[in-house]
Chains A and B, each alone.
Chain A
C-alpha cells in the first residue's frame, strides 16, 4: 500500500464513520447481548457438565493414557505423523513457521485489497490450515484409545495382573493337556505357590479361562458383563453356556431380556473364544464338573485316544437304569415325574430326587418332554440314560483337554497314588492323616503333625522331598530315598509330596507347629548347624562331643582323621557314620568348616559372651532395620521387638538356633519368602555371631 492508497483508505473510512452509529448504545448493545448469551452458556456448561476432576495424580500409574485438553488435540495428533527424529519438525519447526507467518501477515499481504475473494493467496492457505486443524482434532478425538482396561473394570484381567503377571508377564503359554485349575490351586514344583488359600475356586476357574483365552475376557465384558459377573458363569454347565449363545432369546433365562442374537452379533471364532474363557480347556476341571457325576474320579477306557474322543463328542446310550415301579409309591412317582419336567414347580421333591436318583444322576436332572414320558421312563428303567453329545457343546480345545485328562486319569490319579504310598511308608509313624503320634523309635518322644497348615506353609516341596529322601536320623526317621539306601524312587517321593500338599487346601490337623527341623545338605554351614552342632556346639565349642575350637583338637588331628571320623563314626559313641548319608564332598566341606572354627574363635571372641547390644543389634541395624523397623512385620530395632514381633513370631527361640526362623532366613533355607537380607547375605562371621548369641540363650546383654 503506497501513501496515496493509504490516504484513500483513511478518507473512505472517515465517510463510513460519519454514516455510522454511536458506539454506545448501538455497538455496545450487541456486545452486551453476546456477553450475556456467553455467560448463560458457561453457566449451563458448569451446571450440566461441571468441571471435571479425575483421580489424584499418581506418578506411579503406568496405565494412564495422557490426553491433552481438546484444543491441543490437533497438535497431539500431528505428532503421530512425525516419528523419531522428525518429531522436532512437527513439534517445533512447523508450528513455529505457522506462527511466524501469522505474526508477519500484515507485512506479507500489503495490497490495498481487503475483500477475501480479492486476497485468495491469504484466504486459501488459511482455510487449508483451519481445515487441517479441524480434521486433525476430529481424527484425534476418534482415535481416542478406549479407557484403559483397569478403568473399565475387567475384574479377571486385574485378578491376573495382581496375582500372575509379576512372574508370568502378560500371557502364559499353556501346554496342551495341562490341568490349569490344579496347577493354579496347588502350585508346582518349580516354585509356583499354591493359590487355593488366596483365591476362590471360581476365581481360579476364571483365571484359567483368562489364561487360555484372554480375548474371551474382553468379549465377556463387552457382551455379557453388564448383566453377568464372570464368577457366576464359570461354574455353569458348558451345555447351558453353549445354548445361551446359540439360541439367543429363545434360551429360556434370556427370554425376557433385551439381547442381540449372539449367532449374528458374534462371529463363530468369537463365540469359541468366549466359551473357552468361561469354561477353560482344562481337562481335570472339565472332567470334574461334567463327567464325574456319572464317571466318578476317573474311568477306564481301553480304546485309542481317537476312539475316546469320538465317544465323548458323540455321546451315546450306555447305561441301564433299574425299573423303579416296584420300589417307589405311586405318589413318589408322580412327584418325581413332574419334578423332572419342571424342577422349579416342585422344589420339595428335590430331597426325594437326591435320595433316590442322585447317586447316579448327580445334580443333573434328566430331561423329559412330558410328565407322561418321564413317568414311563422312571417306571420301566432300561437303557435310556443318554450321555450328552458333548461334541455339540464343547469347543475343540475343550475336547482335546478332556481326552488328554481322561487318558491320564486312567493311569491313576497322582494324589490317590501318593496316598497309597504314604499309607504304606509313612502312616505307621505319621498317621494316615499326618497327625503324628508316639515315636516308635524313641521312647517318650512324640512325632508332631505334618499336616498342619503351619507346617505345610513353611516348607516347600524341595524341603519335604529331601526330608523324605534323607530321613531325619536324629529323630529316628530313616532315609527313604533310593539314593540314600531307602525304598522310594524320586518319582514316588514326589508323588508323596504331592499327596501331602493336597492337605494344604484343607489341613486335616490344626495343631501348633511341630519341632522337627529339616536336614538340608546344601551348604556345609547348614549341615553343621543341623547335624553336628547338636553335640559339638554351634560354634564348635563342644558339648556331648569334642570341642572343635580347642587348640588340642585342631592340632592333634589331620584332615584325613576328621574326615574318617565323620565318614565311619565311632562305634562306641553316639557319633554315627555319616558316610551313608553324606557325600564325600560334603564331608570334606564339613572338615574345612571345622578347621575354620579356630580362626573364627579368635576373631569373634568367646561365643558364649556375645552381647546383644554390642554384637547383634549393630548387625540388625546395619542390615535389617531399614525395612524391618518401620514397614511392619518383624522389627529388628530393639531387644523386645526382636524377640516378640513378626507375623510368625517368635523368630528367635532362645538356645535353639536351628529352630529359630531368623537363622533359617539368614541361611536361606526358609524358602518361603526367600532368604534375608535380600541381595547380599550377611558374612559368615555375622551369622556365626547371631547363631552363638541365640545358642547362648538370646539374652538381653
Chain B
C-alpha cells in the first residue's frame, strides 16, 4: 500500500465518518423537533357558538360579567376552562361583548364601579366602558367577541 493511497483512503474515511455523524444528528434532531413542535400546532377544537346567558341580566350603562364554561382538550386531558366576558350596552339595542383579558400582558381586568372604568391591576392599565384604552400600557382596546342575540339569549363565538 503506497503512502499516497493510505492518505487518500484516510481522507475518504474522514469524510464518511463526519458524514455519518451528520446524518445521525439529523436523524435525531429532525424527529425531535417534529415531536416537540407538531402537537403544539394542533388547532383548538373547542370552538363554536356558545350560549352566554340571558340578555335580561345586562343592566344598560354597566358592563355585566358573564362566565362561560368551555371544555378544552389538552393532550389526553379534557378539562373545563372558564371564560369571563363583559357585556355592555348603552341603550339595550347595541351591545359590546368584551373579553376580560388585558391586551397588555393577559392579566384579568375588573370593572371598578366608582370610577366607571375597567382597571388592570398588573400594570395599571385603564379602559373605559367600551373597552377603549384610557391610560397605561395596553396596546389596543379590550378584545371583542363576535356575538348573536336570539330570543333574549346572547351567544358568543368561542375559539
Contact = CB atoms under 8 A, between A and B. Distances in A.
A35 B20 contact: yes
Contact of B24 (A25, A28, A29, A39): A39
A375 B24 CA distance: 84
B139 interface: no
B27 A28 contact: no
Contacts, number: 27
B136 interface: no
Interface residues of B, number: 10
Interface string B112-152: 00000000000000000000000000000000000000000
Nearest to B14: A25
A33 B21 CA distance: 9
B105 interface: no
Nearest to B28: A39
A25 B10 contact: yes
The B interface, classified by DSSP as helix, strand, loop or mixed, is: helix
A24 interface: yes
The A interface, classified by DSSP as helix, strand, loop or mixed, is: helix
A32 interface: yes
A36 interface: yes
A26 B9 CA distance: 10
A111 B89 CA distance: 96
B80 interface: no
Given A33-B20, A35-B20, A36-B20, A25 B13 contact: yes
B27 A29 contact: no
B13 A29 contact: yes
B17 interface: yes
B23 interface: yes
Contacts of B20: 32-33, 35-36
Nearest to A31: B17
Nearest to A35: B24
A28 B10 CA distance: 11
Nearest to B11: A25
Interface string B5-43: 000001001101100110110010000000000000000
Nearest to B23: A36
A22 B6 CA distance: 12
Interface in A37-51: 39
A35 B17 CA distance: 11
A39 B10 contact: no
B16 A39 contact: no
A39 B21 CA distance: 12
Q: Which of B10, B20, B21, B27 has its CB near the most chain A CB atoms (within 10 A)? A: B20
Contacts of B16: 25, 29, 32
Q: Which of B14, B17, B27 has its CB near the most chain A CB atoms (within 10 A)? A: B17
B129 to A, nearest CB: 46
Contacts of A36: 20, 23-24
Contacts of B21: 32
Contacts of A26: 10, 13
Contacts of A35: 20, 24
Q: Can you list the 5 inter-chain pairs with the closest CB atoms, starting with the nearest?
A: A25-B13, A32-B20, A25-B14, A29-B13, A29-B17
5 contacts: A24-B17, A25-B10, A25-B13, A25-B14, A28-B17
Interface of A: 22, 24-26, 28-29, 32-33, 35-36, 39
Given A32-B16, A39-B24, 7 more contacts: A25-B10, A25-B17, A26-B10, A29-B13, A29-B17, A35-B20, A36-B23
